[in-house]
């Protein structure tokens, strides 16, 4: 006997908690605005054009790749826009347009799509792009040179350059409050510590980023910087300074926490974050680069598959029940 | 049931607690036919002791010629009108037997059980009672590889939203006591534990069994987790050497068993929790084999295209494709979902957010597992990603941000591996 109607048949479970990738990405995007808006206020139209160009070209690269690889269009999940935004936040406001476009190409095409799209990328796409650009056209990312035409009412020298070249005495003029409130030069979305912290805390509370990674990253920076400072206070700046300058907070909340390239188990997350913080300060203090966050993140991305093998023992199936 | 605003808190799904004001179950009348599903492939149908046109009595065993095989109990007397092959979950080959029910006044009970079982024994229980509501399973007692040392009676639910077993504890603790006494007598096992939710502990005390409390958070009342958490002390003290020493019975089954041996009559009405589209929860009492459409009619529930009907609960149940589907001895719950309430699933790849890993009650590395399963590397999934450890609670799929049907992948993998193993041993 034919049924009068057709029922929906699918596999259990029949409920869902309502989460989805797009909700998560749009929440992270909204949180980044807290740090980006101060950047737009300080750097004006130039910053706005970098941000909009970066977000839009990232989405276009995603569309192009979707088309070329004949996969479903995935710009709706917000990840391409988010990656474009994160990439733009690290740039100086004066970055030339072609650098932005090449950067988003590396972010989306090389960093994400060639691995099969979201979830397949072994590195944070925006960090990968940033590393490529820093090594290829490093001159554009020298904040002192890039922002030379701006007038500031505070010391317009990139704090990490100061401390690297002249020791910790040179940065005594920066108070922690000034740094937190963004009275320093830096990337469009990375210089305002307060905006990053509020956004990051919001995301941790909502569970969109994993607090274990962010907190251990910050702890890694603080402990390592403190030890360096303690060993040689004249050469190495204090823990608070390292936390509030460069990409530190941005890295802790937005870079280290990227899903695909970070571990998911509790202890690995702690190791991963702490290692990132440790490497950051190590590169800053004794490495060749002014800021270590980008390379530190790439390095911990590499360790992810290995350290995520540390996981709790499974409760084995022990009985056969009816 | 939604994700909490503060997402770092793990989702807490709690079992339904039966209300003090829970209404009496509504009795569902069978309109004309009942349908029994035999766990035997169709080719054996020809050998079924009975054939189309035969008259069966209520309580009579419906089975294949093979006397040791599975059987069901006809809940009503009537004439067999149809014996056809039936495909169950994962293409399981079964047989459906349809019986046109005699009018209520002409119902005749089958007396075989009464005559053959003057005193309760394990053998007669296995021979006559496996088709009772709650589906008591006596096979562990006959398994030479096992030595059952303890029995757990589940006064808790198998899935969210159901209150079926709690109803028996709350209103019929006397018959549970009778059933437990019978169980002790026929098995010779005195270590019987009654597992109940906290609000029923006081009532459960009258059962004469050791009462243990089960947490209200899903999936705490899963048999494997009960053994692990509730019986942990006895395992440690050496009273129980392995969890395989435990047999499980639902409260409903124990209650039915007690009644069967005491009165000689087999109780054949299944109690079930019915959840209508608007979320209303009611209890229904229907003869085993009652088609779904009779229950829908009794509750005035209309179903239309693309709605979903679920046998069993929202996390682990089975969606059915026809309203002719019958109530089975273990159908604790029927749930109707309007098409607007059906969450979509997707084929987006895993983004490695780790929600599933952190929610898994048995610590399966679901993020690794799902990658292997999607690539159909089932053997690797079993050896590297702990596929066997999964207790099938469905929580990973419930929290999946990519909305991957992980649970379905897992079931398919387990089924495929089992089939491969069977083929190997046949070869």
User: What does the pLDDT look like over A67-103, one tens digit per residue?
Assistant: 999 999 999 999 999 999 999 999 999 999 999 999 9
Q: Which uninterrupted H or E stretch holds B86?
A: strand B78-87
Separation of alpha carbons A90 and A210, rounded Å: 21
Q: Which residues contact B187 (CB under 8 A, 6 or more apart)?
A: B122, B141, B148, B151, B247
Is the pLDDT at B299 greater than 80? The verdict is yes
Q: Which of A110, A139, A168 is the last residue of a domain?
A: A139
Residue A235 in domain: yes
Residue A317 in domain: no
Contact B303/A7, CB-based, under 8 Å? yes
Quote the mean pLDDT of chain B: 88
The pLDDT of residue B243: 64
Q: Which of A82, A111, A139 is the last residue of a domain?
A: A139
Contact B316/A12, CB-based, under 8 Å? yes
Query: Looking at beta carbons, which residues of chain A come within 8 Å of B342?
Result: 8, 10, 14
Query: Looking at beta carbons, which residues of chain B come within 8 Å of A19?
Result: 3, 7, 355, 399-401
Q: What digits encode the pLDDT tens for the residues B81-140? A: 988 888 888 888 888 889 999 998 888 888 888 888 778 888 888 888 988 999 999 988
Is the pLDDT at B241 greater than 70? The verdict is no
If you measure CA to CA, which chain A residue comes closest to B139?
A: A322
Is the pLDDT at B2 greater than 80? The verdict is no
Is the pLDDT at B49 greater than 90? The verdict is no
User: Cβ of A11 under 8 Å from any chain B Cβ?
Assistant: yes
Phi, psi of B274 (to 5 degrees): -110, 120
Contact B363/A313, CB-based, under 8 Å? yes
Is the pLDDT at A320 greater than 60? The verdict is no
Identify the domain containing residue A300 by its residue range: 155-307
Nearest to A317 by CA among B382, B239, B156: B382
Q: What digits encode the pLDDT tens for the residues B4-43? A: 666 666 667 889 899 888 888 999 989 889 999 988 776 6
Residue A315 in domain: no
Is the pLDDT at B302 greater than 60? The verdict is yes
| Helices and strands (H and E) in chain A: how many | 13, 0
Together in a domain, A124 and A240: no
% of chain B with per-residue pLDDT over 90? 52
User: Cβ of A138 under 8 Å from any chain B Cβ?
Assistant: no
Nearest to B152 by CA among B108, B207, B97, B210: B210
To the question of domain B269-339 being in CATH 3.10.20, the answer is: yes
The pLDDT of residue A318: 46
Pairing type for strands B210-214 and B71-73 reads: unpaired
Task: Give the architecture (CATH level 2) of B122-263.
Answer: 3-Layer(aba) Sandwich (3.40)
Contact A17/B358, CB-based, under 8 Å? no
Contact B401/A24, CB-based, under 8 Å? yes
Minimum distance, in Å, between the CA of residue B262 and any CA atom of chain A = 25
| B134, B229 contact by CB (below 8 A) | no
Contact A119/B402, CB-based, under 8 Å? yes
Mean pLDDT across B174-189:
92
Mutate one of B386, B401, B408 to test the A interface: name it (highest A CB count within 10 A).
B401
Minimum distance, in Å, between the CA of residue B143 and any CA atom of chain A = 11
Together in a domain, A128 and A186: no
Residue A15 in domain: no
Together in a domain, A159 and A285: yes
Is the pLDDT at A319 greater than 60? The verdict is no
Together in a domain, A118 and A245: no
Angle between helices A97-104 and A125-136 (to 10 degrees): 130
Q: Which pair of tokens denotes residue A100?
A: 């932005």
Radius of gyration in angstroms for the set of CA atoms belonging to chain A, rounded to a whole number: 21
Residue A147 in domain: no
Pairing type for strands B308-311 and B333-337 reads: antiparallel
Higher pLDDT pick, B3 / B75? B75
Together in a domain, A161 and A106: no
Residue B109 Ramachandran class (φ > 0 left, ψ -120 to 50 alpha, else beta): beta
Residue A82 in domain: yes
Q: Could you state, in order of their start, the residue ranges of all structural domains in chain B?
A: 33-109, 122-263, 269-339, 355-426
Mean pLDDT across B315-324:
92
Mean pLDDT across A41-61:
96
Q: Which pair of tokens denotes residue A224?
A: 């390592």
* Facing B307 at nearest CB: one of A7, A11, A313: A7
> What letter would DSSP give residue A292?
-
Q: What digits encode the pLDDT tens for the residues A245-273? A: 999 999 999 999 999 999 999 999 999 99
Mean pLDDT across B365-383:
93
- Count how many domains chain A has: 2
Nearest to A213 by CA among A279, A282, A264: A264
% of chain A with per-residue pLDDT over 90? 75
Radius of gyration in angstroms for the set of CA atoms belonging to chain B, rounded to a whole number: 22
Place of tokens 């509790």: A266
Number of neighbours of residue B306 by Cβ within 10 angstroms: 13
The pLDDT of residue B117: 76
Q: Which uninterrupted H or E stretch holds A198?
A: helix A193-206
Residue A144 in domain: no
Vertex B201, ends B200 and B207: CA angle to 5°? 100
**B340 CA to centre of own chain:** 27
Together in a domain, A206 and A84: no
Is the pLDDT at A317 greater than 50? The verdict is no
Quote the mean pLDDT of chain A: 92
% of chain B with per-residue pLDDT over 70? 93
The pLDDT of residue B48: 67
């Amino acid at each position: 006997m034919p049924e009068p109607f057709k029922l929906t048949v699918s596999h259990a479970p029949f409920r869902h908690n309502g989460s989805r990738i797009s909700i998560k990405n749009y929440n992270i995007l909204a949180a980044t605005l807290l740090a980006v808006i101060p950047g737009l206020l300080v750097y004006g139209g130039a910053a706005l054009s970098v941000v909009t160009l970066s977000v839009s070209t990232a989405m276009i690269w995603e569309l192009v790749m979707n088309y070329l690889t004949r996969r479903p269009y995935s710009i709706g999940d917000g990840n391409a826009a988010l990656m474009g935004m994160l990439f733009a936040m690290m740039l100086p406001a004066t970055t030339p347009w072609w650098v932005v476009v090449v950067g988003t190409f590396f972010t989306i095409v090389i960093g994400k799509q060639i691995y099969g799209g979201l979830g397949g990328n072994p590195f944070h796409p925006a960090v990968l792009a940033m590393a490529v650009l820093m090594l290829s056209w490093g001159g554009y990312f020298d904040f002192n040179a890039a922002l030379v035409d701006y007038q500031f009412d505070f010391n317009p020298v990139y704090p990490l350059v100061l401390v690297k070249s002249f020791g910790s005495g040179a940065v005594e003029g920066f108070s922690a409050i000034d740094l937190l409130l963004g009275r320093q030069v830096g990337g469009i979305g990375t210089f305002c510590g307060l905006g990053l912290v509020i956004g990051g805390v919001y995301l941790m509370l909502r569970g969109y980023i994993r607090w274990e990674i962010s907190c251990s990253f910050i702890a890694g920076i603080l402990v390592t910087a403190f030890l360096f400072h303690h060993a040689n206070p004249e050469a190495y700046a204090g823990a608070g300074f390292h936390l509030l300058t460069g990409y530190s907070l941005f890295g802790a909340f937005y870079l280290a926490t990227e899903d695909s390239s970070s571990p998911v188990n509790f202890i690995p997350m702690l190791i991963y974050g702490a290692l990132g913080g440790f490497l950051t300060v190590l590169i800053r203090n004794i490495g060749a680069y002014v800021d270590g966050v980008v390379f530190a993140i790439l390095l911990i991305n590499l360790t992810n598959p290995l350290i995520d093998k540390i996981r709790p023992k499974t409760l084995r199936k022990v009985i056969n029940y009816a | 049931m939604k994700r909490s605003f503060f997402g770092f808190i793990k989702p807490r799904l709690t079992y339904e607690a039966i209300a003090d004001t829970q209404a009496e179950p509504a009795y569902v009348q069978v309109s004309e036919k009942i349908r029994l599903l035999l766990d035997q492939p169709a080719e054996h149908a020809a050998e079924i002791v009975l054939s189309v046109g035969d008259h069966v009595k209520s309580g009579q065993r419906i089975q294949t010629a093979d006397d040791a095989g599975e059987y069901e109990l006809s809940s009503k007397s009537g004439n067999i009108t149809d014996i056809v092959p039936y495909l169950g979950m994962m293409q399981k080959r079964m047989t459906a037997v349809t019986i046109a029910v005699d009018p209520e006044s002409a119902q005749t009970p089958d007396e075989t059980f009464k005559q053959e079982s003057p005193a309760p024994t394990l053998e007669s229980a296995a021979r006559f009672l496996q088709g009772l509501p709650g589906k008591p399973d006596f096979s562990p007692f006959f398994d030479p590889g096992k030595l059952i040392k303890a029995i757990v009676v589940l006064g808790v639910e198998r899935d969210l939203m159901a209150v079926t077993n709690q109803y028996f504890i709350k209103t019929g603790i006397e018959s549970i006591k009778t059933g437990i006494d019978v169980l002790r007598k026929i098995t010779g096992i005195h270590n019987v534990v009654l597992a109940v939710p906290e609000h029923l502990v006081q009532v459960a005390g009258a059962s004469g069994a050791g009462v243990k409390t089960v947490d209200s958070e899903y999936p705490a009342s899963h048999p494997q987790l009960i053994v692990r958490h509730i019986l942990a002390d006895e395992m440690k003290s050496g009273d129980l050497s392995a969890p395989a020493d435990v047999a499980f019975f639902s409260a409903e089954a124990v209650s039915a068993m007690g009644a069967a041996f005491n009165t000689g009559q087999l109780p054949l009405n299944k109690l079930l929790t019915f959840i209508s589209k608007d979320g209303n929860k009611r209890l229904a009492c229907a003869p085993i084999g009652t088609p779904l459409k009779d229950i829908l009619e009794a509750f005035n529930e209309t179903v239309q295209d693309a709605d979903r009907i679920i046998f069993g609960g929202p996390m682990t149940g089975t969606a059915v494709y026809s309203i002719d589907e019958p109530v089975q001895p273990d159908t604790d719950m029927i749930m109707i979902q309007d098409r607007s309430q059906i969450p979509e699933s997707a084929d987006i790849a895993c983004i490695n957010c780790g929600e599933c890993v952190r929610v898994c009650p048995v610590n399966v590395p679901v993020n690794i597992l799902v990658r292997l399963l999607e690539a159909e590397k089932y053997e690797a999934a079993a050896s590297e990603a702990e596929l066997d450890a999964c207790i099938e609670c469905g929580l990973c799929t419930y929290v999946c941000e990519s909305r991957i049907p992980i649970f379905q992948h897992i079931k398919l993998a387990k089924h495929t591996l089992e089939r491969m193993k069977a083929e190997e041993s046949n070869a």
